[in-house]
Structure 1
């Protein structure tokens, strides 16, 4: 069984009654809920727990980490970020959602500013599937339409994705690379754009299906990391005279 940890700041839910009404168990609780219904072993972790809920025991047992952050990126400990980075390099999958594009862990793994344009104006969004054979879009139609979402617009300052899965169009005219995959070390990373806290995006069945598919895709491959550094020859090296 795939072990998933859903990490969330859990700050909007405490400060904004609109968010707490949409997600009474928190965004993390909503996501863990549908992942558990799908048959995963999904738990949660939040910013204000000791070690942000990401103890060595939790991280070492996590196959895929789902990350949602917004208000408090700077409050995440650099030590925890380094531990998460190392786990990704060792093979743990990472799914970064919505405003997690600005999280320390995503920027560390990308090596760029990860900045973008944004606007909150209750706009329609269509997420067009641009890689229809990819397992992340299994059981998804040609596009996902969201009645209201926050706009993110290009240019999105990220490295060119290994694979581009979704491109979004917004009612105001912008477009955005909304589903991007990467490999880092032995680990797989998926960035998925939708999920503004004041909209019920994570109750949408297509959005849930994408996250479910992404967890399956991102699960670790059962192998050790390659060995680096000075290496002994596999074969005998003949000494050649001049």
Structure 2
């Protein structure tokens, strides 16, 4: 069974009554609830917990980490980011949601600014499936339509994705690479754009299905990381004359 940890900085829920009303148990609580319903053993972790809730024990018991952050990216300790990165390289899956594009862990794994254009204007968003054979799109129709969302627009300063799964169109005219996969070491990373805190996006059943599919896709492969550095020969090397 795939063990999931849902991480959320949990700051909007404390400061903004609109967000608190939409997500009374926190964004992490809403996401963990539908993942539990799917049968994934799920725990939550938040910024203000000791070690941000991502202790060595928790990380070792996590197969897939789901990450949501926005207001407090800079408050995430570098040593915790380093631990998460090592777990990803070891094989732990990472799903980065919405404004997590600016998180330290995503920027570290991407090696770019991860910057973009944005606007809060109740844009309609249409997420088009551009890789229909991918397991992350299983059970999804040709597109997902959200009546109101925050706009993210190109250029999105990320490396070219290994696979582009979704492309968004917004009512204001912008487009955006909204579902991107990457391989890093033994681990798999999925960035999924929707999920602004003042909209009930994570109650949308198709958005939930994408995240559930992504958890299953990102689960670790049962193998050790390759060994690097100076290597002894596997065969006898003949002396050259």
Normalising by structure 1, report the TM-score: 0.99
Query: Which position in structure 2 is the counterpart of 1:48?
Result: 48
Hey, what's the Cα distance between the residues in 1 that align with 2:103 and 2:169? 24
1:194 to 2:194 alignment: yes
Hey, what's the Cα distance between the residues in 1 that align with 2:53 and 2:107? 20
Hey, what's the Cα distance between the residues in 1 that align with 2:138 and 2:235? 45
Query: Which position in structure 2 is the counterpart of 1:9?
Result: 9
Shift of 1:219: 0.2
Hey, what's the Cα distance between the residues in 2 that align with 1:200 and 1:42? 21
Describe the superposition over 1:63-94 as per-residue Cα deviations: whole angstroms up to 9, x where unpaired: 00000000000000000000000000000000
Count of residues in correspondence between the two structures: 241
Aligned partner of residue 120 in structure 1, secondary structure: strand
The within-5 A match list for 1:1-242 is: 1-241=1-241
Shift of 1:210: 0.2
Hey, what's the Cα distance between the residues in 1 that align with 2:30 and 2:206? 14
Deviation above 4 Å: which 4+ runs of structure 1? none
Hey, what's the Cα distance between the residues in 2 that align with 1:43 and 1:21? 22
Structure 1 unpaired stretches of 5+: none
Aligned partner of residue 188 in structure 1, secondary structure: strand
Hey, what's the Cα distance between the residues in 2 that align with 1:53 and 1:238? 55
Shift of 1:4: 0.2
Hey, what's the Cα distance between the residues in 1 that align with 2:217 and 2:194? 19
Hey, what's the Cα distance between the residues in 1 that align with 2:224 and 2:85? 16
Hey, what's the Cα distance between the residues in 2 that align with 1:91 and 1:228? 16
Hey, what's the Cα distance between the residues in 2 that align with 1:107 and 1:143? 28
Normalising by structure 2, report the TM-score: 1.00
Aligned partner of residue 119 in structure 2, secondary structure: strand
Hey, what's the Cα distance between the residues in 1 that align with 2:80 and 2:234? 38
Shift of 1:240: 1.6
Shift of 1:20: 0.8
Describe the superposition over 1:80-124 as per-residue Cα deviations: whole angstroms up to 9, x where unpaired: 000000000000000000000000000000000000000000010
CA RMSD of aligned residues (A): 0.3
Shift of 1:60: 0.7
Hey, what's the Cα distance between the residues in 2 that align with 1:46 and 1:124? 30
Hey, what's the Cα distance between the residues in 2 that align with 1:44 and 1:117? 30
